[in-house]
Every structure is written in structure tokens, then in C-alpha cells.
Amino acid sequence: MKRSIKYLSMAVFALAANAWAGSAEEELLNAFVKCDASMFDILKNKQEQLSKYAPIEKVGKTARFQLGSADEDGKRQVIFNKPIIVNGIHFSSFSAEYSELPVNETGKNPVFYFWGFEVEEARAADLVVKFPQWGLKPMGKNFATPSQIIINSHQSVRWQPNMQATTGSIPAKNTVEKLLILEESNGKTSLYCTIQGYPNDKLIRRERLDLIEIGRAHV
């Protein structure tokens, strides 16, 4: 089922991703919640330990889970050979998705990148309790970290706290927003990152080292 697009304009993004001196699985999740390239470096550096869950392929100087072909909604997924278990929570699959909103008033459409994990037999509130260091807070029916924003992607690719908090709006022209979302939908619990708005190629290559090429067909 196609993921419903969530427009971001939240408050200060403060990922409390304190470094854990733990297993490769802990390192992977702790890196993932930063919603940047850190996760893919862990897949490269811990490939031997993590490849038991799913095939890992090298991409340039980094690595990624080998995902299946895109479905009709542009989602690519791999179901793990066995769940990744951390703090008693079972992470059962990983997916990545790209979509573009058909709004063309400015000559360019806002785009939406999603990537993350599905969780087995756990409610969203369970993850909030098990992983307090992630800084997830209530957001409507779900949980999220406060968002980060790039005010003008033509001038800078530096993230800053998004102090203009609104919800339900399309990202403003030339802005880019990012956050971590934990949601329950259709009986499933998902933990995923999103970057949305008007990112340029430089930004996507920096945040998503797993993408060989930039564009809708390469998520």
C-alpha cells in the first residue's frame, strides 16, 4: 500500500542518538535514526556481521541492503532472513521509496524520499519506551523527532532547526525538511526517515550514499 505523504514543518530537530558501545545491530539502528549517510557506512564496516539478515551490496565507497524491484508505488523492500532484534524489538524488513508530488506552480515538483524499517509484534509506544535516546515525541497519532530544515537549497545544504512549526503544508519553494517518524498504519509499525521538498543532487548524495544515481528510478 502506498505510503501516505506527510508534509513536514515541525519544531527543533534534536536527535538524541547517543553512541552505544554495543552490537553491530545496535550500531546500525543508532546510525539509522540520524537520517543521514551514517547507516550505510555501518553496513559497509559491519557487513560480515549484518549480511546474515539480508544481502548487502557495495555502492561506490559505501554499502546498502540489496532491495527487490520497485512495486507500482516505487517502493523497494527486502524482508530479512531473520529479524534484527535489539532491546526485544524485532525489525523484520527494510525498504526505500521515492515519490514526486504533482504540483508544478514553481516549475519544479517537491519530492519525497522515505527509507526505514518495519517492526514485528510491537506498538509504536513500545519503541518509544525501549529507545528513549532517539528523542521521539508524539506527533498526532504517531511519534517523530522535531524536523530539520534547509531554508534555500540553492544557497546552502546546511541543516538547521525548523522553528516555523506548521503541519499539513507542502514544503515551501526551495526548502528541504528531514525527520524520523514512527507510525502505526494498517496494523503495521514502521520506523522511517524522510527527506522532502526541493533537495539538490549534492544534498541527496551526501545524505543517501546508497543511491548510485539521483532520480525517481534509483531509490
pLDDT digits (tens, 9 = 90+) for 45-73: 999 999 999 999 998 889 999 999 988 88
Q: How far apart are CA 64 and CA 60, in angstroms?
A: 10
Residue 56 lies in a domain: yes
Q: Residue 171 domain-assigned?
A: no
Domain membership flag for residue 152: no
Is 70 inside any structural domain? yes
In a domain, 217, yes or no: no
How far from 160 is each of 7, 10, 36, 43, 68, CA to CA, in Å? Answer: 17, 12, 14, 27, 34
Q: 193-208, pLDDT tens digit by residue?
A: 999 999 998 898 889 8
**Whole-angstrom distance, CA of residue 18 vs CA of residue 134:** 8
HEC string of the chain equals CCCCCCCCCCCCCCCCCCCCCCCHHHHHHHHHCCCCCHHHHHHHHCHHHHCCCCCEEEECCEEEECCCCCCCCCEEEEEEEEEEEECCEEEEEEEEEEEECCCCCCCCCCEEEEEEEEEECCCHHHHHHHCHHHCCEEECCEEECCCEEECCCCCCCCCEECCCCCCCCCCCCCCEEEEEEEEEECCEEEEEEEEEECCCHHHHHHHCCCCCCCCCCCC
Confidence (pTM): 0.84
Percent of the chain with pLDDT over 70: 81
Contact 167, 7 (CB under 8 A): yes
In a domain, 71, yes or no: yes
Indicate whether 98 belongs to any domain.
yes
Specify the pLDDT at position 106: 53
Number of domains in the chain: 1
Mean predicted confidence (pLDDT) in 137-151: 90
Q: Among 126-135, 142-151, 197-206, which range has the highest average pLDDT? A: 126-135
Taking alpha carbons only, the member of 98, 130, 121, 112 closest to residue 30 is: 130
Domain interval for residue 201 = 24-134+179-207
pLDDT bin (cut points 50, 70, 90) of residue 103 is low
What distance in Å separates the CA atoms of residue 6 and residue 194, rounded to the nearest whole number? Answer: 9
From its phi and psi, is residue 154 left (phi > 0), alpha (psi between -120 and 50) or beta?
alpha
Residue 18 lies in a domain: no
